[in-house]
Amino acid sequence: MALILIASLFSSINAYAHGTVGDYTFLEPIVADDANPKNELDLLRPQWTRMAGCRVFSLGFSLEKVIAASTPELTSNGVANDGLVSLTLGDDWIYQSPRRGKSASGFNELELLPKWAFLTMPEHEFRLSLGMRIIIPAGSPSVEAQHHTQLGPEFLWVKGMGELGNDGLIKYLRPFAVQGDFGYVPALGGRTWHEMFADNVIEYSMPYLNNNVKDLGLGWPLRNLYPYIEFNYDQLVSGPPGQTFPQIAATPGIAFMNYYVELSIATQFALNHASVAGNHATVIGLLDLFIDDIFPPTNWTPL
């Protein structure tokens, strides 16, 4: 029975509902936040990082639930758009193994992200969202970066390139899309700790290529793939001495996505000198379940 369930989750299905704006279905980013409110469970998000003098392994997880449904707009392929407002709750377990000294492990800060998709334009494959990121130091002090609540706004976006047209080779650019976020989350107490971050994703949808541009006859799993690259920035714009340098990285990867699940893997490398000490080598994975398609009663919304 378990093998049948796993096979059905990864089987080839051409219909999509999650993160769909117009004809484009956006992937769930592996680092960046997604502008699309939806019902999903990031069941596993393992990450291994080799740093200067330390190795870190983390296992993240999060749950996103739509709490207010969108208006009954339909895309051109007849698939309904996602919700209007959602709430995400996430955490991760961390194990730190320094070359010298004792290892440390425990849960990290608890993160909440209520998100409102305030502008959706299906005909342009375009969506803008606003969020309020809340970071609560509810984990283990030995692995938390700091021990005071953080609160701040986050701006998110997605944009598909379907408007480029079907002329010549230009049509093969239509499966490209961008999505990203920008946020500022200062600590509400204790020492000065003002964190700013930004991420941008460039992705190429093989499902969009086959369904909306030209059917190349690709079989499973090739027709379900999304090659992508993320550019990630994080910085304490105000914080302890020696810790305010920007951390800039590139995260190339590939994702498989069907109607029920997304499976993604990526590596990350530093783009500036200040990031090298904290990122000699990184591997990140993601197993994301679309829970309202696996278990339809979760489509219920309180608003």
- The per-residue pLDDT for range 203-223, each reduced to its tens digit, is 999 999 999 999 999 999 999
Q: Is 189 helix (H, G, I), strand (E, B) or coil?
A: coil
| Angle at CA of residue 299, ends 28 and 158, nearest 5° | 30
All domains of the chain in start order, with CATH = 2-299 (2.40.160.40)
- The Cα–Cα gap between 92 and 61 comes to 6
- The Cα–Cα gap between 54 and 277 comes to 10
Which residues touch 303 (CB under 8 Å, ≥6 apart)? Answer: 67, 68, 69, 85
φ and ψ of 130, to 5 deg: -120, 140
- The per-residue pLDDT for range 246-283, each reduced to its tens digit, is 999 999 999 999 999 999 999 999 999 877 776 678 99
- The per-residue pLDDT for range 139-169, each reduced to its tens digit, is 999 898 888 999 999 999 999 999 998 889 9
Report if pTM > 0.75: yes
Q: What is the DSSP letter of 17?
A: -
